[in-house]
Amino acid sequence: MIGNSTFLQNLRKFRLVTFDITETLLRFRQAPAIQYAKTATELGVTDIDQPLLEQCFKDEFKTMAKLYPNYGRHSQLSWYDWWAQLVERIFRCVKPNIDEKKLKQISGTLIRIYRTNACWIHIDGNQELLSRVRQANKHVGVISNSDPSLHKVLKEMEILDKFDFVLTSYEAGYQKPDKSIYDIPLEKYGVKADEALHIGNTYDLDYIGARNAGWSSLLVTRNKIDLERAQGTHAYPSLKDLLLALDTKKIQW
């Protein structure tokens, strides 16, 4: 297969290939604010102002990330408590007089269902790309700014066995784009930075973060500005487009 030959040639220099998860290999079935409103309604909290909930979600997520960075990794909060507090802050922002018992019920339900396949879908092309990278005899892993429950999500979505390791920022103690999180798998597998490739959807965290750590990187995003900012053969609007390029183009690293 000519495409496979080109694919292998493009990845020849790499011994390690890692992936981001959210909006790279998997995405939410619905925007979080929509799912939050749906769950609350199902649990008896009605008349939710959707635009307000969306704004509260953005504001409170930023606040929590500032108060307790990396899902509370270096604070007294567990990652579970971090999410519970976030959900409660969001709904108090939307409905200041919300019943506390209902609030606990909503937060517990949301934390649970976001660790199942109820809230996630596969991005087209992810299975093929993962399988072919594995067939090329690379170490394959995940580097994600997330909490340890990501392992459960990947198992629920039946792709956990595609990876040799899953490194979350919470477990690492560092978040992308910090070079330290990219250094961990290099040391684990005895790989040099110029033998490593990272694929993700965020320009600063994934594309530039990996490059600043000495890695090569590929960007997969629908953001036109970021597509233009990245080097020509290093950025694609979808995994399908990336696969086609790996099969048919000579990518200059």
pLDDT digits (tens, 9 = 90+) for 147-190: 999 999 999 999 999 999 999 999 999 999 999 999 999 999 99
pLDDT value at position 227?
Answer: 95
**pLDDT tens sequence across 96-105:** 999 999 999 9
Tell me which residue range forms the domain holding 73: 32-113
pLDDT value at position 4?
Answer: 84
pLDDT value at position 32?
Answer: 96
- Residues 66, 138, single domain; the answer is no
- State the pLDDT confidence band at 21, using cuts at 50, 70 and 90: very high
- Look at residue 3 and tell me whether its pLDDT is greater than 90: no
**pLDDT tens sequence across 90-135:** 999 999 999 999 999 999 999 999 999 999 999 999 999 999 999 9
120 inside domain: no
Domain boundary among 63, 93, 113: 113
pLDDT value at position 2?
Answer: 43
Domain boundary among 113, 142, 174: 113
pLDDT value at position 231?
Answer: 82
118 inside domain: no
- Residues 109, 129, single domain; the answer is no
State the CATH number of the domain containing residue 44: 1.10.150.720
- Residues 224, 238, single domain; the answer is yes
**pTM tops 0.85, yes or no:** yes
- Residues 244, 141, single domain; the answer is yes
119 inside domain: no
- Residues 74, 185, single domain; the answer is no
**pLDDT tens sequence across 194-237:** 999 999 999 999 999 999 999 999 999 999 999 999 988 999 99
State the CATH number of the domain containing residue 238: 3.40.50.1000
- Residues 210, 129, single domain; the answer is yes
- Residues 158, 211, single domain; the answer is yes
Domains contained in the chain, number = 2
- State the pLDDT confidence band at 1, using cuts at 50, 70 and 90: very low
Pairing of the two strands 26-28 and 196-200: unpaired
- Residues 129, 235, single domain; the answer is yes
131 inside domain: yes
- Residues 61, 178, single domain; the answer is no
Domain boundary among 113, 137, 157: 113
210 inside domain: yes
- Residues 102, 8, single domain; the answer is no
- Residues 194, 162, single domain; the answer is yes
160 inside domain: yes
**What percentage of the chain carries pLDDT values higher than 90?**
98
- Residues 139, 20, single domain; the answer is yes
* Average pLDDT rounded to a whole number, residues 129-145: 98
**pLDDT tens sequence across 29-59:** 999 999 999 999 999 999 999 999 999 999 9
Mean of per-residue pLDDT scores for the chain: 97
